[in-house]
Amino acid sequence: MASAAGKHSSQVSNLPFNILGLALVALVALPVLVLFSQWATLGNGEQEIWQHLFDTKLDRLTGNTLVLVLGVGVGVTVLGVSLAFLLSMCEFPGRRWLDWALMLPLAIPGYVMAFVYLGLLSFAGPVQGWIRAQFGSSNWFPDIRSGPGVIIVLSLVLYPYVYMLARSSFLMQGRNLLDAGRSLGLDARSAFFRIVLPVARPAIAGGLALALMETLADFGAVSVLSYDTFTTAIYNARDGLFNQAVAAQLATLLLGFAIIVLVLEQSSRKQARYTQGEQQRPMKPIQLTGPGAWLACLWCLLVLLVAFIIPVAQLVLWVFESGAGEFDSRYPEYLWHTLALAGIAAALAGFLALLLSVFRRMKGPGGTFRSLCVRFATMGYAIPGSVLAMGIIVAFTYVDRTLIQLLGSGPLLVGSVFSLILAYITRFMAAAYAPVDAAIDRMKPSMIEAARSLGTPPARLLRQLYLPALWPGFLTAAIIVFVDVMKEMPATLIIRPYDWDTLAVRVYQFTAEGQWERAALPALTLLLVGLIPVIVLVRKSARPG
């Protein structure tokens, strides 16, 4: 491509980087491509199943999925933005510790939140039991196993994505914009809605896109709460109708939803490009007093209570009820596996996201093509882990066969730690890409242009310019992936080497049979360990002063 054109010396030096970028995209996108290739299998059996799905439930499942995406979208935006505003731009009693505490729900897996609240709020649970004991009937109590129930549960675990990104955007804007608005005669509220919020829009949209792709891929929470979505149809085609091809085909359609989400996110970014000014004035927060301060504090406490304190308290209670009998000598091993996998995947995903982001921005022809490539490489986030895992196994078996023919040695990839790491990278590339890409967005183009015009080679650009400026974005990416990998269950389950049980796998052993009390100990351990990276993330981005 570039070498054939041979027009410009800087483009020639881009060639290895182009190749590396493409290879990377191919590697990450391979499992998704395998799923698409299943459209080649559209025999009578498949057509009959499609007809059946059209006739019976495809419309309901599509509707349910849309309702879920819309509901969670509203839920995480309201929670994330309101909390981010209060905690980054205002001052009220308790703000300092609420600021980091409200990030903690990120460590709770969606399926754990779902089974905790199902246990608490179902008809047979303690809350409705108490209501019946007091008032005779609890029939008016809303069923958590419903659309609104799932929306609330998923919003509670996913709002931290929006909170995190909106918060850092607010913090970075500092007081400058708010003051500018006020100097133009706007009151604080209008200044916020008309200036601060629009400027933070790309960050909010980025967090929202992550939350919604997670929602699309969710199987755990929706199945615990008996809510049928597109994802459950994929499972049903595979495990009920024994048709892998239709399952894969349905999974590719799920990507249609994801593409809509991404297009919306992209369009919110396109309208504006904001770069960071020099040194921000340290922020002087809006001092809340009286009822305002109370309300702000109460709202934050309420979210913290529902999204973190109650679930953790319930897990602790269950651990006590089921006794420490579940604890065995292999816990250190589960812990080590969880940390090792999460650590390696986080570091690699962060680094590869950086490469992808730079790859997309490279000069020269094919920019649109590169953008598309990168988009495709981040699609794995919207595919349920268990389905994506099938793509990985098929792809890796193929690579293994080729390697066996070439080298004559046994299978290398399938059932290895490496394939598991690649599964994580494919699955979570979007989560790593968003913060890294946003960080690059904030860099001043003038700086890059200047370096470019001096003919600085890409490798040096990366080392001397990008890396120092991008370290915070990289760290955020790595930590999100770390926590996501810790919580990941279905892909881990099927791809892991036989003796590589993780805490999430341990949770599954019990939840699969509805034994939630016994799942509480591994779930609680998982959560406590997950808190460590979350706290690191919070510390790193704390408001100065």
Residues 481-500 within binding reach of another protein (CB under 8 A) = 490, 493-494, 497-500
**13 touching another protein, by CB under 8 A:** no
Q: Could you tell me if 388 and 423 are in contact, meaning their C-beta atoms sit under 8 angstroms apart?
A: yes
Residue 484 CB, shortest distance to another protein, in Å, is: 20
Q: Is 123 helix (H, G, I), strand (E, B) or coil?
A: coil
Closest to another protein by CB, 20 vs 259, is: 20
Question: Please, which of residues 228-257 interact with another protein by CB under 8 A?
Answer: 228, 232, 235-236, 238-244
The secondary structure of 179-203 as a DSSP string is: HHHHHTT--HHHHIIIIIHHHHHHH
Question: Please, which of residues 140-179 interact with another protein by CB under 8 A?
Answer: 143, 145-146
Task: State how far the alpha carbon of 152 is from the alpha carbons of 93, 156, 306, 307, 313, in Å.
Answer: 27, 6, 10, 10, 19
Quote the tokens at residue 524: 């609680």
Q: Could you tell me if 486 and 530 are in contact, meaning their C-beta atoms sit under 8 angstroms apart?
A: yes
Give the C-alpha separation, 297 to 227, whole Å: 34
Question: Please, which of residues 311-370 interact with another protein by CB under 8 A?
Answer: none
**123 touching another protein, by CB under 8 A:** yes
**390 touching another protein, by CB under 8 A:** yes
The contact pattern for another protein, residues 267-296, with x = CB under 8 A and - = no contact, is ------------------------------
CA dihedral 339, 344, 350, 354 (to 10 degrees): 170
Q: Which region among 92-100, 117-125, 256-264, 434-442 touches another protein (by CB under 8 A)? A: 117-125
Provide the residue type at 239 as one letter: D
Helices (H), 6-140: 9-37, 44-56, 58-89, 95-101, 110-121, 126-135
Can you tell me which of 9, 39, 54, 56 binds another protein, judged by CB under 8 A? Answer: 56
Q: Which region among 206-214, 219-227, 360-368, 478-486 touches another protein (by CB under 8 A)? A: 219-227
Can you tell me which of 175, 317, 397, 448 binds another protein, judged by CB under 8 A? Answer: 397
Give the C-alpha separation, 21 to 26, whole Å: 9
**386 touching another protein, by CB under 8 A:** yes
Closest to another protein by CB, 400 vs 437, is: 400
Can you tell me which of 510, 521, 523, 529 binds another protein, judged by CB under 8 A? Answer: 510
Can you tell me which of 260, 467, 512, 542 binds another protein, judged by CB under 8 A? Answer: 512
Residue 451 CB, shortest distance to another protein, in Å, is: 26
Q: Which region among 116-124, 185-193, 311-319, 532-540 touches another protein (by CB under 8 A)? A: 116-124
Question: Please, which of residues 406-425 interact with another protein by CB under 8 A?
Answer: 410-418, 421
**126 touching another protein, by CB under 8 A:** no
Q: Is the dihedral of CA 57, 491, 32, 408 positive or negative?
A: negative
Give the C-alpha separation, 42 to 244, whole Å: 11
Q: Which residues pair with 286 in a beta bridge?
A: 90
